[in-house]
């Protein structure tokens, strides 16, 4: 059963409340990771704002195209499945099989 737009928003709001943004901020600080020309990692409020923008972009695509949608920026990724399952992630590194050739050429 597909979830309604309001159900998805409510679920994401609860997820944002439990997400450990302080841990993300500390990891960003350790890696000297900033956004734009800032000298410090973004504030928790800025990170939450980014996550909501990504959620809204994914929500629009999911509802309009009736398909899985993923949006990412600044290390954050929001994914909404066709069934309405939501994932909020902070990614430090990833690889896909399409990247293997590039890595193997470097060896």
pLDDT single digits (tens) 12-61:
999 999 999 999 999 999 999 999 888 899 999 999 999 999 999 999 98
Q: State the pLDDT at residue 105.
A: 78
Give this prediction's pTM. 0.85
Tell me the residue ranges of DSSP E strands in 15-105: 69-73, 76-80, 86-90
User: Cα–Cα distances in Å, from 23 out to 19, 44, 54, 82, 106?
Assistant: 9, 10, 20, 30, 33
Q: State the pLDDT at residue 33.
A: 93
Q: List the chain domain ranges.
A: 5-106
C-beta of residue 70 within 8 angstroms of C-beta of residue 54: no
The Cα 72–Cα 26 span in angstroms is 20
């Amino acid at each position: 059963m597909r979830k309604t737009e309001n159900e998805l928003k409510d679920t994401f709001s609860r997820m944002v409340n439990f997400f450990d943004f302080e841990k993300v901020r500390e990891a960003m600080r350790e890696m000297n990771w900033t956004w734009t020309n800032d000298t410090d990692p973004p504030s928790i409020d800025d990170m939450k704002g980014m996550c909501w923008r990504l959620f809204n972009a994914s929500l629009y695509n999911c509802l309009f195209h009736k398909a899985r949608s993923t949006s990412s920026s600044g290390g954050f990724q929001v994914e909404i499945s066709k069934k309405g399952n939501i994932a909020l992630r902070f990614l430090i590194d990833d690889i896909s099989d399409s990247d293997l050739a590039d890595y193997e050429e470097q060896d």
